[in-house]
């Protein structure tokens, strides 16, 4: 389970795992937010509307879900995770703090990894540098990020994302995957 503040690079670390460690199964979340340029439905996310998300919640199809940054809902489809684990595969969930806390309750045996920025200033720089959000959205994400950073002690392991390849290698190593 990989969590960490917004813009810390969870997405790029997951991409690195996807590209270099096919033995790790990556959960594909459902989200109500719109796809960003380059994002592919079914690969990066399952992009769904509010009605479909409501349906998934009602049918208990999600292992966890959360409203992130007060805007869009994100959730982990339960069945694919159960199937991956039943098949003996290492499974990676990249989710926010609220989701991690829910999974902590339902899957206490999972490894909880906190991806940390090298510093607060670097986190701000990355958030601004991404350029995909409005100023208002960035402000909201920074507020969330501050709360999320404070949650680090809740996790089993902290990995500093000073370098994507290095963080990616440390993550799979911690997951017990032979690189
Ligand atoms: P983004 O919109 O930048 O792709 O993701 C925003 C946030 O949503 C990130 O912090 C990401 O970890 C979180 N997120 C993505 N998928 C899920 C999910 O399935 N569940 C939860 N709880 N958070 C998620």
Query: What band does 5 get if pLDDT is binned at 50, 70 and 90?
Result: confident
Q: What is the mean pLDDT of residues 112-129?
A: 88
Instruction: Tell which residue, 11, 21, 7, 14, has the closest CA to residue 124.
Output: 7
Measured in Å, residue 179 CA sits from the centre of ligand 1 at: 26
144 within a domain of the structure (yes/no): yes
- Ligand 1 surroundings by CB, under 6 angstroms: 6, 10, 29, 33, 64, 66, 68, 74-76, 94-96, 98-99
Of the listed ranges 3-7, 133-137, 172-176, the least confidently predicted one is 3-7
72 within a domain of the structure (yes/no): yes
Q: Mind giving me the DSSP string for 71-100?
A: TEEEEEEHHHHHHHHHTT-EEE-B--HHHH
Closest Cα to atom 15 of ligand 1: 95
How much is the CA Rg of the chain, to the nearest whole Å? 16
pLDDT at 163: 95
Q: What is the mean pLDDT of residues 21-47?
A: 95
Instruction: Tell which residue, 124, 120, 78, has the closest CA to residue 99.
Output: 78
Q: Is the pLDDT of residue 133 over 80?
A: no
Of the listed ranges 6-15, 17-26, 131-140, 141-150, the least confidently predicted one is 131-140
pLDDT at 178: 59
Closest Cα to atom 19 of ligand 1: 75
Global pTM reads: 0.88
179 within a domain of the structure (yes/no): no
* Parent domain of 80: 2-174
71 within a domain of the structure (yes/no): yes
CATH number at residue 16: 3.40.50.300
Which uninterrupted H or E stretch holds 135?
Answer: helix 135-149
pLDDT digits (tens, 9 = 90+) for 68-106: 878 899 999 999 999 999 999 899 999 988 999 999 999
Measured in Å, residue 96 CA sits from the centre of ligand 1 at: 5
19 within a domain of the structure (yes/no): yes
SS3 30: strand
How many distinct structural domains can be found in the chain? 1
Closest Cα to atom 12 of ligand 1: 95
What is the overall mean pLDDT for the chain? 91
Q: What is the mean pLDDT of residues 156-174?
A: 95
Q: What is the mean pLDDT of residues 110-123?
A: 92
pLDDT at 128: 76
């Amino acid at each position: 389970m990989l969590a960490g503040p917004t813009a810390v690079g969870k997405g790029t670390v997951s991409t690195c795992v996807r590209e270099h460690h096919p033995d790790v199964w990556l959960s594909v979340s459902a989200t109500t937010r719109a796809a960003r340029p380059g994002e592919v439905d079914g690969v990066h996310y399952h992009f769904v509307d509010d009605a479909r998300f409501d349906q998934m919640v009602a049918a208990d199809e999600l292992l966890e879900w959360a409203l992130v940054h007060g805007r869009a809902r994100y959730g982990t489809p339960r069945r694919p995770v159960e199937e991956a684990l039943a098949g003996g595969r290492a499974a990676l969930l990249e989710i926010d703090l609220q989701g991690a806390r829910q999974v902590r309750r339902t899957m206490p045996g999972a490894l909880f990894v906190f991806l940390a920025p090298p510093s607060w200033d670097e986190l701000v720089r990355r958030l601004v540098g991404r350029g995909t959000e409005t100023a208002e959205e960035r402000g909201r994400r920074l507020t969330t990020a501050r709360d999320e950073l404070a949650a680090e002690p809740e996790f089993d392991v902290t990995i500093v994302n000073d370098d994507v390849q290095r963080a990616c290698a440390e993550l799979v190593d911690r997951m017990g995957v032979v690189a």
